[in-house]
Amino acid sequence: MSLKRFHEELEQITVDLAAYGDYALGMLTDGMASLQGLDTARANDVMDRKAHLYDLHSDLEDRTMRLLLLYQPVAEDLRTIVCINVMNHSYYRVGRIGKDIAKAVLAMRSEVGAGAETVSFASLYVMADIVFAMHREVMEAFRSGSAVNLEGLGLQDDRVDAMRATLFREYLTYMLEDPKNIRSGIEAITITRHLERAGDHACIMAEKIYFMTEGARIEIR
């Protein structure tokens, strides 16, 4: 097997990983979008995408394993494959998080019904926008082959963590004030946990991109 063939296959995998990342992030963004008006059609669409997400994940995993077995790469090539494997797993989890948010929307809709009052989701959208920005930065760095600003990403992650703690108290207050808010409040708290985890995956991927490009291991936290 030639080195040229190896790099052709590796380049194609990186292209496909970026497309797969867009697919996973699309599930996350649409999961959050389904929260608006408890849109069951959009939520069910996100739920239906999980099978294809798994297929994309498995295909990339098989192809990177094949490269390792056939070519036994070293140095920068090996770091690239390590990065791809980590990002493959993280994007799978991000897509699943989108599915879990959609599942929470469906649970709220079945409990409170169409047009019913729920807790305010305004702060959730703000939290989600921070997470989306983190992922856009990570994806841009991967596509361009440049290192992520780990310090800046870490500060964004701190904001997400702080918002989760604040929103827990906010939604708890809603539930204590009116028992009708209990179901939507519980699901909103669950979504804050999902968003925090999605932010964590952005950090995990950023660390591996830094390792891939710079050859040094740096932990954000």
pLDDT band at 148 (very low <50, low <70, confident <90, very high): confident
pLDDT of residue 35: 95
CB of 23 within 8 A of CB of 57?
Answer: no
In one-letter notation, the amino acid at residue 201 is: H
pLDDT of residue 138: 97
Query: In terms of Cα–Cα distance, which of 19, 18, 51, 47 is closest to 31?
Result: 47
**Residue 42 CB contacts under 8 Å (≥ 6 apart), including other chains:** 30, 33, 34, 102
pLDDT of residue 111: 77
In the numeric block, which tokens belong to residue 143? Answer: 């596509």
Q: Examine the pLDDT at 1 and tell me if it is beyond 60.
A: no
String of DSSP letters for 125-174: HHHHHHHHHHHHHHHHHHHHT----HHHHHHHHHHHHHHHHHHHHHHHHH
- CA 158 – CA 147 distance, rounded (Å): 20
Domains and CATH numbers, the chain: 3-214 (1.20.58.220)
In the numeric block, which tokens belong to residue 20? Answer: 């797969």
pLDDT of residue 70: 87
What's the whole-number mean pLDDT along residues 183-207?
96
More confident residue, 199 or 215: 199
pLDDT of residue 34: 97
pLDDT of residue 157: 97
CB of 85 within 8 A of CB of 13?
Answer: no
Q: Examine the pLDDT at 188 and tell me if it is beyond 70.
A: yes
In one-letter notation, the amino acid at residue 11 is: E
Q: Examine the pLDDT at 144 and tell me if it is beyond 80.
A: yes
What's the whole-number mean pLDDT along residues 46-68?
97
Question: Nearest 5 degrees, angle CA 45-CA 49-CA 54?
Answer: 165
């740096």: which residue's tokens?
218
Tell me the pLDDT tens digit for each residue of 73-91.
888 899 999 999 999 999 9
Neighbours of 62 (CB within 10 A): 9
Mean pLDDT, the chain, whole residue set: 93
